[in-house]
């Protein structure tokens, strides 16, 4: 949520900042702004709405700039204060000499604000961030030392922050500090960067130093200094970023979402790589650091996650219970953290997150760690905060996901759960060897089956066109595909703003059926040979009897349903247990094409941000 980039060096500062913000735009797009140190002054440019508005604004005012050599930039996802120009970052102190950008929430900002107003500070915005600018300027007035001013100020901040600061009188120095919000320094030759996430700097350097909580970075073009909040120098490891800049290109696709949907076959190959060498051999999952004897006795797992990752967790529960006979609870992180759980040292807690930065999940994981549970993290970002908290880490290797709606990371999470469930089953010896072998065989074939779906999407596009004018949808399924129904409905809601809800098919008659008429399409997910196929068919009949338009998502061999359903979407034949890895693809595409027909902003849907770093 929100994105930060800072730069000092020999390149065109404005271009570096705007490029960095472009690559971070998935994190928020309510407003954007940059501050430059130019001509012995701090110059601030801001715009409301998307980054393009800021780019146009700067283009118009380019003539005002002489030769800026450092700057900080921000894109905002509003928390405190509405999305408005005055609330847009960067924020300055009263005289405009000190400027800050900030991600996170300062919980004690009201007290600090009152104190600073009494001291004569003039506040212009409703944000918590402006408090930081005034507080740091107040500290700077006492010490005339920017680093010290930042150190003294952050000690007074409660809540979460990744903050970058510049001062007019301290040329080409950027100071960054973090607590509970990500921040890293990018190291270059004759230039250095600071950012909230790697895409901001990947085009310029692959060398990064990740800040931990309560650390402060001071960068100039030739130097990087990291200290703790008492000023003690820290010697931190420089890491090489695994990403290639090409990951941030659409490669000819109209949207990142479509590109990422099409990447799924390769993503699955990547996840499986090195894990299944031979279908007769065991799954190799060295990432799970728990002793085999402990795993054998394990009888309780808790999985915590949000949004799409929560849906992957639901599939995870189903297959771990089915394959390994271990009882699994799945809970939204935001619920887990506010109740007395029974988590203890004998519990395996699995945190699932694409970004590894979701605040609710991080808090839940920290609570689980306090209770001495072993924490296994499944994430697409092995460089994230959550990954750093892990006792065991399964990186899902989906590559950078730019579109706000998660697609390929979901599939990668599903495959990771299949591997984990099979690994547990092998240790506990709960599955028949032939069954396991067939499962592995089918798992390896998934990429080809997804390629088959992707090679001809005309049916899905036609269905999307037919149904794009409906205002409400119901998705129904049972068993392992219930999560697919929830996820399909979430995708539609997120990018087309159509009201779509997933229900267990059997629950339809316990209430939701009252809503059914010809204005409410019902999409049923049913896999021939599946344990609840006939029941879902009956539930669909019940919907038909109430005049609902029916869409089926089924597999190729299902020949008997065309009479009942108004539209049939098909996937290649597959066993029900593995089918969520295929059913998600047409559902992603259906949501994509409906949003596309409606002219929605597919990659950056309103009100959303890619990583939700506030609770």
Reply yes or no: is the peptide bond before residue 146 cis, omega within 30 of 0: no
Nearer to ligand AGP, 473 or 567 (CB): 473
Cα(588)–Cα(569) distance, rounded to whole angstroms?
12
Nearer to ligand AGP, 432 or 601 (CB): 601
Distance of CA 515 to the CA centre of its chain: 33
Closest separation in Å from C-beta 553 to ligand AGP: 19
Nearer to ligand AGP, 178 or 493 (CB): 493
User: Is 300 strand, coil or helix?
Assistant: strand
Cα(55)–Cα(511) distance, rounded to whole angstroms?
50
HEC per residue, 563-577: CCCCEEEEECCCCHH
Closest separation in Å from C-beta 358 to ligand AGP: 3
610 catalytic per annotation = yes
Closest separation in Å from C-beta 357 to ligand AGP: 7
What values do phi and psi take at 211, rounded to 5? Answer: -80, 145
Closest separation in Å from C-beta 355 to ligand AGP: 3
Closest separation in Å from C-beta 193 to ligand AGP: 23
Q: Which residue among 2, 164, 306, 463 is the active-site one?
A: 2
Closest separation in Å from C-beta 352 to ligand AGP: 7
Nearest to 335 by CA among 313, 319, 320: 313
Closest separation in Å from C-beta 107 to ligand AGP: 21
| CB neighbourhood size of 346 (10 A) | 13
Cα(137)–Cα(143) distance, rounded to whole angstroms?
10
First-to-last alpha carbon distance for the chain, in angstroms, is 11
Structure letter (DSSP) for residue 199 = G
Closest separation in Å from C-beta 55 to ligand AGP: 25
Q: Kindly give, in sequence order, each residue whose CB lies less than 8 Å from that of residue 588, ignoring residues fewer than 6 positions away.
A: 257, 261, 405, 407, 488, 491
**Which residues of the chain form contacts with ligand AGP (CB under 6 A)?**
306-309, 353-355, 358, 361, 404-406, 494, 608, 611-612
Residue whose Cβ sits closest to ligand AGP: 307
Angle between helices 307-324 and 482-496 (to 10 degrees): 170
| CB neighbourhood size of 513 (10 A) | 19
Q: Which residue among 19, 440, 493, 610 is the active-site one?
A: 610
Nearer to ligand AGP, 45 or 593 (CB): 593
HEC per residue, 429-455: CCCCHHHHHHHHHHHHHHHHHHHHHHH
Closest separation in Å from C-beta 93 to ligand AGP: 34
Structure letter (DSSP) for residue 393 = E
Nearer to ligand AGP, 379 or 481 (CB): 379
Closest separation in Å from C-beta 335 to ligand AGP: 14
Cα(315)–Cα(318) distance, rounded to whole angstroms?
5
DSSP class per residue in 336-371: HTTS-----TT-EEEEEESSS--HHHHHHHHHHHHT
Helices within 202-300 (DSSP H only): 256-262, 264-272, 292-297
Cα(287)–Cα(264) distance, rounded to whole angstroms?
22
Nearer to ligand AGP, 72 or 482 (CB): 482
Nearer to ligand AGP, 133 or 591 (CB): 591
> What is the longest distance spanned by two Cα atoms in the chain?
80
Block residue for tokens 């399909």: 488
Residue 19: half-sphere exposure toward Cβ, Cα within 13 Å: 16
Nearer to ligand AGP, 241 or 608 (CB): 608
Closest separation in Å from C-beta 611 to ligand AGP: 5
Block residue for tokens 């310029």: 204
CA 569-573-574 angle, 5° bins: 115
Q: How many helices (H) and strands (E) would you count in the chain?
A: 18, 24
Write b or e for each residue in 452-469: b if 16 or more Cβ atoms lie within 10 A of its Cβ, otherwise e.
Answer: bbbeebeebbebbebbbe
225 catalytic per annotation = no
Nearer to ligand AGP, 100 or 359 (CB): 359
Cα(9)–Cα(576) distance, rounded to whole angstroms?
56
HEC per residue, 72-138: EEEEECCCCCCCCCCCCCCEECCCCCEEEEEECCECCHHHHHHHHHHCCCCCCCCCCHHHHHHHHHH
Closest separation in Å from C-beta 404 to ligand AGP: 5
Nearer to ligand AGP, 425 or 492 (CB): 492
Laid out side by side, the sheet with 567-571 consists of 499-504, 472-477, 522-525, 550-555, 567-571
Nearer to ligand AGP, 330 or 520 (CB): 330
Nearer to ligand AGP, 186 or 307 (CB): 307
Report the catalytic residues: 2, 610
């Amino acid at each position: 949520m929100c994105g930060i980039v800072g730069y000092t060096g020999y390149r065109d500062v404005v271009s570096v900042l705007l490029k960095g913000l472009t690559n971070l735009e998935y994190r928020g797009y309510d407003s954007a702004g940059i501050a430059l140190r130019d001509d012995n002054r701090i110059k601030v440019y801001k715009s409301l709405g998307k980054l393009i508005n800021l780019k146009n604004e700067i283009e118009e005012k380019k003539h005002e700039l002489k030769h800026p050599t450092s700057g900080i930039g921000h894109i905002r996802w509003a928390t405190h204060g509405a999305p408005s120009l005055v609330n847009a970052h960067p924020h300055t102190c009263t005289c405009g000499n000190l400027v800050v950008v900030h991600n996170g929430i300062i919980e004690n900002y009201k007290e600090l604000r009152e104190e600073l107003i009494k001291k004569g500070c003039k506040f212009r915005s409703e944000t918590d961030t402006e408090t930081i600018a005034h507080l740091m300027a107040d500290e700077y007035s006492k010490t005339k030392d920017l680093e010290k001013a930042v150190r003294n100020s952050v000690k007074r901040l409660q809540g979460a922050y990744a903050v970058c600061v510049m001062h007019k009188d301290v040329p080409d120095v950027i100071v960054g500090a973090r607590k509970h919000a990500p921040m890293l320094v990018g190291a270059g030759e004759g230039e250095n960067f600071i950012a909230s996430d790697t895409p901001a700097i990947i085009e310029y350097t692959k060398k990064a130093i990740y800040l931990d909580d309560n650390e402060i970075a001071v960068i100039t073009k030739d130097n990087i200094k990291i200290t703790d909040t008492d000023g003690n120098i820290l010697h931190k490891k420089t890491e090489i970023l695994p990403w290639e800049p090409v990951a941030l290109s659409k490669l000819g696709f109209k949207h990142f979402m479509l590109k990422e949907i099409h990447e799924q076959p390769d993503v699955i190959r990547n996840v499986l790589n090195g894990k299944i060498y031979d279908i007769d051999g065991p799954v190799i999952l060295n990432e799970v650091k728990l002793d085999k004897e402990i795993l054998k006795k394990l009888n309780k797992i808790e999985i915590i996650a949000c949004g799409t990752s929560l849906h992957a967790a639901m599939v995870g529960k189903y297959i771990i219970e089915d394959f390994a006979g271990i009882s699994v609870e799945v809970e939204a992180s935001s619920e887990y953290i506010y109740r007395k759980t029974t988590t203890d040292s004998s519990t395996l807690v699995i945190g699932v997150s694409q970004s590894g930065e979701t605040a609710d999940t991080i808090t839940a994981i920290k609570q689980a760690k306090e209770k001495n549970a072993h924490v296994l993290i499944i994430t697409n970002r092995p460089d994230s905060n959550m990954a750093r908290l892990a006792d065991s880490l399964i990186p899902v290797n989906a590559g950078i996901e730019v579109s706000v709606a998660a697609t390929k990371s979901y599939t990668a999470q599903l495959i990771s759960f299949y591997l984990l469930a099979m690994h547990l089953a092998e240790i506990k010896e709960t599955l028949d060897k032939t069954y396991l072998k067939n499962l592995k065989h089918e798992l390896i074939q998934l990429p080809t089956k997804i390629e088959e779906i992707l090679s001809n999407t005309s049916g899905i596009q036609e269905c999307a066109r037919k149904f794009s004018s409906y205002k409400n949808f119901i998705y129904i399924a049972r068993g392992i595909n219930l999560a697919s129904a929830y996820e399909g409905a979430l995708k539609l809601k997120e990018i087309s703003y159509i009201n779509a809800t997933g229900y267990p098919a059997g629950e339809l008659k316990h209430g939701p059926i009252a809503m059914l008429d010809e204005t409410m399409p019902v999409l049923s997910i049913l896999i021939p040979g599946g344990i609840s196929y006939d029941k879902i068919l009956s539930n669909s009949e019940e919907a038909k009897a109430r005049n609902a338009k029916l869409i089926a998502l089924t597999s190729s061999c299902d020949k008997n349903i065309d009479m009942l359903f108004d539209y049939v979407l098909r996937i290649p034949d597959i066993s029900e247990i593995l089918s969520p890895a295929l059913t998600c693809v047409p559902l992603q595409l259906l949501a994509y094409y409906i949003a596309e027909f409606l002219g929605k902003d597919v990659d950056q849907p309103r009100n959303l941000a890619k990583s939700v770093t506030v609770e």
